[in-house]
């Protein structure tokens, strides 16, 4: 998966860098309306080098997210007032407007645009460059921790400490949620099914053990009865004074 794909897939990641509108100008100049704040749908399509229908489709799929970043549709008296303030000439009954932040949001959602891909790469580069030195270098000592003894190896801590609100922290959060979802939807049901199967097998084993016990008791009872049957004529012969050959014949 391409590095910039994390912005395409994760709303959390997009929210983390939503304010870095300078990334737009690093790729190409964004032409604003005379009010110096907004861009029309046609202007957004021209900036990214795509057809206007691609922007319409993207707005339909992500309208709520774009609205949270400044996308708005004006009509009626509000449109009339906007035309007067901005000097825009339009006979349309409504007008969709994008702020720079909303245009950046489009860059993080638009797949089939080389301009959008370059903007995403600039966003990720800027985020990596903004990481504190503590992330890339040695971790600072914990307050209250004893200083390392001379010549002794410092304690190893492999757990990364990403700054709160950074892109890396957002990635870690998404990865952790994915792992939890996989465990919850796949591993746990598998373990539950395994536990049920083990319980069934345990019941079968217990039933087999009970049958073996019963068979052993039957065999022992039969043996004791056989010995008893042979003992009675032997004792009777002894009482009657039988000699050794007669007793041997009874034992054979």
Tokens standing for residue 212: 């073996």
User: Quick one: 125 and 11 in the same domain?
Assistant: yes
User: Quick one: 33 and 104 in the same domain?
Assistant: yes
**Is the model's pLDDT at 142 over the cut of 60?**
no
Residue 157 lies in a domain: no
Query: Once rounded to an integer, what is the mean pLDDT over residues 52-71?
Result: 96
- 0.85 exceeded by the pTM? no
Q: Are 44 and 58 in contact (CB under 8 A)?
A: no
Residue 141 lies in a domain: no
User: Quick one: 173 and 115 in the same domain?
Assistant: no
Least confident of 5-9, 20-24, 158-162, 205-209: 158-162
Q: Which long-range contacts link 201-205 to residues 24+ away (Cβ below 8 Å)?
A: none
User: Quick one: 96 and 169 in the same domain?
Assistant: no
User: Quick one: 21 and 111 in the same domain?
Assistant: yes
User: Quick one: 235 and 169 in the same domain?
Assistant: yes
Q: Are 15 and 70 in contact (CB under 8 A)?
A: no
User: Quick one: 228 and 178 in the same domain?
Assistant: yes
* Nearest of 170, 175, 172, 167 to residue 130 by alpha carbon: 167
Tokens standing for residue 135: 């992330």
The pLDDT value given to residue 138: 46
Residue 146 lies in a domain: no
Residue 120 lies in a domain: yes
Q: Are 168 and 131 in contact (CB under 8 A)?
A: yes
Q: Which residue has the higher pLDDT, 224 or 33?
A: 33
The pLDDT value given to residue 130: 74
Round the average pLDDT of the chain to a whole number and report it: 78
Identify the domain boundary among 101, 129, 157: 129
Residue 238 lies in a domain: yes
User: Quick one: 15 and 122 in the same domain?
Assistant: yes
| pLDDT tens digit sequence for 77-112 | 999 999 888 888 878 899 999 999 999 999 999 999
Identify the domain boundary among 129, 150, 176: 129
Q: Following CA atoms 39, 43, 48, 50 in sequence, which dihedral angle do they give, to the nearest 10 degrees?
A: 140
Residue 219 lies in a domain: yes
User: Quick one: 124 and 173 in the same domain?
Assistant: no
User: Quick one: 125 and 41 in the same domain?
Assistant: yes
| pLDDT tens digit sequence for 213-234 | 677 677 666 666 666 666 677 6
Cα separation, 114 vs 118, whole angstroms: 6
User: Quick one: 202 and 107 in the same domain?
Assistant: no
> End-to-end CA distance of the chain, in Å?
87
Phi-psi region for residue 125, left (φ > 0), alpha (ψ -120 to 50) or beta? alpha
Range of the domain at 210: 165-252
User: Quick one: 119 and 9 in the same domain?
Assistant: yes
Facing residues of 75 across strands? Answer: 94
Residue 152 lies in a domain: no
Binned at pLDDT 50, 70 and 90, residue 115 comes out as very high
What is the domain count for the chain?
2
Phi, psi (degrees; rounded to nearest 5) at 38: -110, 165
Give the distance from CA 9 to its chain's centroid.
12
Phi, psi (degrees; rounded to nearest 5) at 98: -115, 130
């Amino acid at each position: 998966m391409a590095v910039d794909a994390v912005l395409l897939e994760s709303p959390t990641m997009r929210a983390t860098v939503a304010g870095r509108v300078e990334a737009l100008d690093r790729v190409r100049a964004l032409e604003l309306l005379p009010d110096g704040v907004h861009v029309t749908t046609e202007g957004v399509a021209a900036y990214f080098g795509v057809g206007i229908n691609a922007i319409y489709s993207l707005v339909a799929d992500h309208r709520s997210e774009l609205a949270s970043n400044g996308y708005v549709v004006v009509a009626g008296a509000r449109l009339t007032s906007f035309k007067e303030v901005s000097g825009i000439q339009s006979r349309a009954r409504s007008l969709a407007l994008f702020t720079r932040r909303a245009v950046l949001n489009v860059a993080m959602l638009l797949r089939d645009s080389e301009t959008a891909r370059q903007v995403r790469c600039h966003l990720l580069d800027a985020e990596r460059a903004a990481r504190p030195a503590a992330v890339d270098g040695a971790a600072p000592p914990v307050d209250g921790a004893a200083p390392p003894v001379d010549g002794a190896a410092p304690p190893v801590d492999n757990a990364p400490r990403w700054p709160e609100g950074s892109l890396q922290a957002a990635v870690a959060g998404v990865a952790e949620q994915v792992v939890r979802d996989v465990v919850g939807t796949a591993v746990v049901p598998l373990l539950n099914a395994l536990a049920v199967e083990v319980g069934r097998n345990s019941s079968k084993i217990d039933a087999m053990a009970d049958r073996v016990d019963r068979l052993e008791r039957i065999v022992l009872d039969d043996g004791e009865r056989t010995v008893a049957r042979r003992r009675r004529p032997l004792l009777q012969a002894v009482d009657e004074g039988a000699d050794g050959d007669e007793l041997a014949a009874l034992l054979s």
